[in-house]
Structure 1
Amino acid sequence: MNKSILFIALFVVPVCWSQTANRVITKQGQVSFFSHTSVEDIEAVNNQVLSVIDFSTSEMAVSILMRAFVFKKALMQEHFNESYIESDIYPKSTFEGKIMDFDPSLPDNQTKLVKGTINIHGVSKELDIKTKIENVQGTIVLSGTFDLRVADFKIKIPPIVAGNISKTIEVSFRFEYQPYEN
């Protein structure tokens, strides 16, 4: 299953990589989101996120299978996939961007801005993400948190449950990259 996800994601994510590119990849990156309201907290985690970085251009791509988000309550997961995200119609979310002023050869931690485009629910939006980049014994680790507005992605929330879902969702990510081998 993981090999088919990798195969699909590498050919679906529309980022062109040169043959001599110095690339790293993670097949099990983590993306989570959190929604807080006075009525209910909603949280989900996805540990099957694919991401690739090309060090020669500082470009990165992320592909997220929406059905891979796991919730504490099965009913929340069902509503997320069927009613809100419509995973059958929009099975994945993507991000394509560039790490600004990134030097992968530095052994120290760096905080950099990643500028790019996120696509969720068939809607693309420009995004700037403050990202912590660590070099942990030769492994590049990217992590950070950013907010997304539900309304920006044309996700319809029925009025009866609108008070249960925050208008702004906090998204967190952590990717541990390994060398990419053809």
Structure 2
Amino acid sequence: MNKLFSLLLVLSTFFARDSVPNQFIARQGQVTFFSYASVENIEAKNNQVLSILDLDNEKIAVSMLMRAFVFKKDLMHEHFNESYIESDIYPKATFEGSLENFNIEENTKQTQLINGTITIHGISKEIGIKTTITKSEKGIQLTGEFNLTVNDFNIKIPPILANNIAKVVLVKFNFQYLPYETN
């Protein structure tokens, strides 16, 4: 996680000018997850995800508070934060990666691979994410989805609940980046 903060610090120092053409920020990105289960599906949405996109260096950094996920039921929110993710101990999830072969000059949708490290529940894992990138007059939109295996992040599920929670969770994201401005 220190690398993420270092990147954010370096980028914020670099952004000390009015506007940097190839530096973008998404202050209210969206991440959702869906877990299919035989008893009840679990779905949550987080609309408070911060991300920085540095096209000059082809880097991306994402940070989100785990408690910001909103569930349909309060009990799901409580169990997620207290029993599974342990948000008091591991308050954030992060991703640091490299966007490869994105052509800022191209005005069409591009599908590219982002390779990086995702950290959840204190465990880091290398991951490749297929991402759709759309450039507009205002900024850049990144969307995509990927699967995460619960066991990869040392998230303990009591045996009695093992059938109620999927072993693989579908994660979707949508970031609308705007040019980073200091004013």
Report the TM-score, using the length of structure 2 for normalisation. Answer: 0.90
Contact 2:4 2:96 in 1 (8 A): no
Give the percent of matched residue pairs that are identical in Structure 1 and Structure 2: 56
For residues 93-137 of structure 1, the C-alpha deviation after alignment (integer angstroms, 9 at most, x for no partner) is 000001111112221110000000000000000000000001133
Letter in 2 for 1:75: L
CA contact (8 A) 1:142 1:175 kept: yes
CA distance in 1 between partners of 2:14 and 2:53 (Å): 14
Per mean C-alpha deviation after superposition, the further-off stretch among 17-26 and 162-171 is 17-26
Matched, 1:149 2:141: no
Gaps of 5+ in 2: none
User: How far, CA to CA, are the matches of 2:173 and 2:161 in structure 1?
Assistant: 27
Using the alignment, how far apart are the partners of 2:51 and 2:136 within structure 1? 18
Tell me how far apart the structure 2 counterparts of residues 109 and 126 of structure 1 sit (CA, whole Å).
25
Contact 1:61 1:95 in 2 (8 A): yes
Equivalenced residue count is 173
The code of the aligned residue for 1:135 comes to K
Instruction: Tell me the SS of whatever aligns to 2:151.
Output: helix
**Counterpart amino acid of 1:81?**
N
Distance (whole Å) between structure 1 residues aligned to residue 83 and residue 44 of structure 2: 16
1:136 counterpart = 2:131: no
Contact 1:13/1:63, CA 8 A, preserved across alignment: no
Deviation at 1:12, TM superposition (A): 5.7
> 2:85 matched to which residue of 1?
85
Alignment of 1:11-160 (within 5 A): 13-15=5-7, 16-17=10-11, 19=14, 22-160=22-160
Structure 1 portions without partners, runs of 5+:
1-8
Distance apart, 1:85 and its partner CA: 0.3
Higher relative contact order (CA 8 A, sep 6+): 2
User: Counterparts of 1:37 and 1:67 in 2: how far apart (Å)?
Assistant: 22
Partner of 2:177: 177
1:144–1:173 contact (8 Å) kept in structure 2 = yes
